Amino acid sequence: MKIPFINLSSQYKSLQSELDIAIQGVLERGRFILAEEVDAFEKEFAAYCGADHAIGVASGTEALQLALSASGVEMGDEVITCAHTSVATVAAIELAGARPVLVDVDPSRYTLDPDLVSASITPRTRILLPVHIYGCPADLSRLLELANSRSLEVIEDCAQAHGARVDGQHVGTFGRLGAFSFYPTKNLGAYGDGGAVITNDSALADYVRRLRQYGWGPDRVSSTRGFNSRLDELQAAILRVKLKHLAAWNSRRAEFADLYRSILSGCDVRLPPDPPDCEPVHHLFVIRCEKRDDLRAFLSKRGIQSLVHYPIPVHIQPAYASLGYRAGSLPEAERLSREVLSLPLYPEMTDEMVGDVCQAVLDFFK
């Protein structure tokens, strides 16, 4: 591809000396699990997010699972989230033993629609789980107001929203816990899987730390049943290097997003949501087009790679048929799945590359 969807090797080359030193240090020290790099990264990431605690875990999916388990979710409890998300969100709910209740999205921001959540609350509902999809925060003020009025908790899925803010406050700190993914393609990505849970609740933070390692306390006695979900030292060392650059990378993403908007503003595509109450981090630049598949094929012929996030809403995927939804039951999520197209957007791009992508989109509509 002339313009790949993402280019992680170019990011590595830009940080090669820093990363090589960090990795070599871990190898030389010979401590690979829950040692000084994880401890330092947890402190630094918590400070970046404005949280009191961060707990490194093995993946973003397990970050959600542990956050739910630490909140006391049990078999038979219900967790409300949106259908337009990665399957990982729903998988985490089921791994925690709860039943996912899927609600349609607000078409103005593609996130959990507060107007539809209320009707889905039952006596078994325990958690509202908004997803900050594509790096754009959900409508947290309304969701928190609803949760408080119904004695529910909020856990935030921040897998695509490292650094996103609402009224200056980082996502992940509004709910009782926030869950992050460090999958390699994220705004802050490791070189393998990784994740973190953040919270301002010291007791919850201690519980998540125990859950991630067999329920062990300091004496290695399992006071509760736990799991094996640990962020390793190599990934923590890599993330510590990258965290120093995250603000600059997010700023660069915002510049490219603005450039995309300015060039495509008169084009026959729907541009991404841009709510006035928040600062998105543009994890993905997702346009909508009724001729999405034709446009994608046209871009590919021009040497431009694009992806679809996500082609089939969770509620109509075969694995989740037992949840009882049918095609047509969540129309906004289904419409998005037919129309969304993610264009290349990463800090190592250039203005010229963005211009080439835009020109190709414009040419498609000529």
pLDDT tens for each residue of 104-119: 999 999 999 999 999 9
Percent helix, percent strand, percent coil in the chain, to nearest 5: 45, 15, 40
Tell me which residue of 178, 141, 140 sits closest to 160, measured CA to CA. Answer: 178
Rounded distance, CA 361 to CA 366, Å?
9
Angle between helix axes 351-364 and 292-301 (nearest 10 degrees) is: 130
pLDDT of residue 161: 98
Q: What is the three-class DSSP state of 133?
A: helix
pLDDT tens for each residue of 218-264: 899 999 999 999 999 999 999 999 999 999 999 999 999 999 999 99
Pull the structure tokens for residue 289. 């087009």
pLDDT tens for each residue of 6-47: 999 999 999 999 999 999 999 999 999 999 999 999 999 999
- Taking 70 as the pLDDT cut, the residues of the chain under it are none
pLDDT of residue 21: 98
- Structure pTM? 0.97
pLDDT of residue 1: 85
> Hey, what CATH class is 8-243 in?
alpha beta
Pull the structure tokens for residue 161. 């929203």
Q: What ranges do the domains of the chain cover?
A: 8-243, 246-364
Question: What architecture (CATH level 2) is domain 246-364?
Answer: Alpha-Beta Complex (3.90)
